[in-house]
Amino acid sequence: MADLFSPLKLGRTELRNRIVMAPLTRNRATVPGCIPNAMMVTYYAQRASAGLIISEATPISPMGHGYPATPGIHSAEQVAGWKKVIEAVHANGGKIYLQLWHVGRISHPSLLPDNALPVAPSAIKPAGQAFTYTGLQDFVTPRALETNEIPALLEDYRRGAELALEAGFDGVEVHAANGYLIDQFLRDGTNQRSDQYGGSIANRTRLLIEVVSTVSKVWGADRVGVRLSPINPFNDILDSNPQALFNHVAEALNPFNLAYLHVVEVGMAGGEPQPFDFNELRRAYRGNYMANGSYDKARGNAVIASGHADCVAYGVPFIANPDLVERFMQGAALNAADQSSFYGGTEKGYTDYPALA
C-alpha cells in the first residue's frame, strides 16, 4: 500500500517520495531586481529531500508583483539567480517546479511600474491592505483588463514559462488560487465581466484554460501543475457556488493530462468556510491529486492510503524543518516555526533551523 515514502510519477517527473514542499512566500529576494540570491540557494538546497519542491510564488512580469522582495521570472538576472538555486537542489537529488504567479488586484501602485494601477477582471477594490516597501497601505480600486489585453497577458505567461525552462526547473505550476489574478477571474465575486471571460462558469474558467494551454505548449502538459483553493477566502475572494465552479474546473483540466492538480483544502483567513465536498472534486479530476491543508504525517499517510490523494504538500513544517522527510521517517519531533520571521529578513528563521544530529 502506498504511503508518504513511496515513489510516485507525476507526469514526466519521478518523485522519490510523496512529501511535497508547498510554495512558500518568504520575501528574501535581492532588491532592486527581485533576484534570487545565495541565501535562497541555501534555503532550497536544505529542503531538497522533498519528493518535489514547488518554488515560492514567482511573478511572471513587473505588473504581476504584489509584495516586496518576491523573486520574479521576467529578467535575465532572475533566470541567472534561479539557475543557482536549481543547481543546488539537483545536486542534492531534489526536483523543483516554479510556481507562475500574477497577483492581479492584490497589489499597490508603489509596487508596480510607473505607479500603475493593479489590473483585475473587474474594477472591484479588495478589502484590506497591501504590503509595500513603506509598510501597509490600503488597496486601491484596480483597472479592469480590456479584452484585447488578454493576449499580452498570455504572452507574459508564455515568456515566464520559457524563462523557467531556460533556468532549468523540472516543471511549472500555474497559480490559480488564494485570490490572485486567475482566481479573481474564476470567481463571480470578483469577475463581473460581460465579455467571453465573464458571466457563465465556462466563461470565467476560460482564462485559466488559456493559460494552461499556453504554458503546456512550452513545457508539455505532463510537466505542468495547477493550484486551486476552492474555499479559501484569503484576499477577499468569494464565489456564490464554489462546488459547481471547481467541479467544472477539474473536468475542464482533465483533457490536458497534467502532472497534477494541487488543491488547498483549507482556508487561510478567518471566518466560516463555505460548504465544500473535496471528495466530489477529487472524483471529477482524473489525474494526480496533490492535497494541501494542515496535514501531519499520520493524516498524510491516511489520505494517500485512501486513494483521495497521490501526494501531500506541506508548508509551515518545511519552513521549520529542512529535513522534514527524515523526521517523518524516524518519527522524530518537529522544530517549531517562528512566525515572526516568515516574511522578509535575514538568515534567521530562514536557513538556521537545525536538522537532526
Centroid of chain to Cα 138:
24
Are 266 and 216 in contact, with CB atoms under 8 Å apart? no
Collapsed DSSP state (helix, strand, coil) of residue 172: strand
Q: Which residues contact 32 (CB under 8 A, 6 or more apart)?
A: none
Q: What is the chain's pLDDT, residue by residue, as a tens digit (357 residues)?
A: 899 999 999 999 999 999 999 999 999 999 999 999 999 999 999 999 999 999 999 999 999 999 999 999 999 999 999 999 999 999 999 999 999 999 999 999 999 999 999 999 999 999 999 999 999 999 999 999 999 999 999 999 999 999 999 999 999 999 999 999 999 999 999 999 999 999 999 999 999 999 999 999 999 999 999 999 999 999 999 999 999 999 999 999 999 999 999 999 998 776 677 899 999 999 999 999 999 999 999 999 999 999 999 999 999 999 999 999 999 999 999 999 999 999 999 999 999 999 998
Instruction: Give the class (CATH, top level) of 8-341.
Output: alpha beta
pTM for this predicted structure: 0.97
Nearest-angstrom CA–CA distance, 37 and 49: 21
Nearest-angstrom CA–CA distance, 4 and 297: 8
DSSP state of 149: G
Nearest-angstrom CA–CA distance, 37 and 81: 6
Collapsed DSSP state (helix, strand, coil) of residue 57: strand
User: Other CB atoms closer than 10 Å to residue 77's CB: what's the count?
Assistant: 15
Q: 180 an active-site residue?
A: yes
Nearest-angstrom CA–CA distance, 289 and 309: 5
Cα Rg of the chain, angstroms: 19
Residue 324's alpha-carbon distances to 86, 92, 121, 172, 247, in angstroms, are 19, 15, 39, 23, 33
Nearest-angstrom CA–CA distance, 111 and 102: 13
* 147: amino acid identity, one letter: T
Return the domain boundaries, the chain. Answer: 8-341
Q: Which one of the listed residues 44, 157, 180, 289 is annotated catalytic? A: 180
Q: Which residues contact 316 (CB under 8 A, 6 or more apart)?
A: 337
Residue 298's Cβ-count burial label (10 Å; 0-12, 13-18, 19+) is exposed
Cell of 285: 479530476
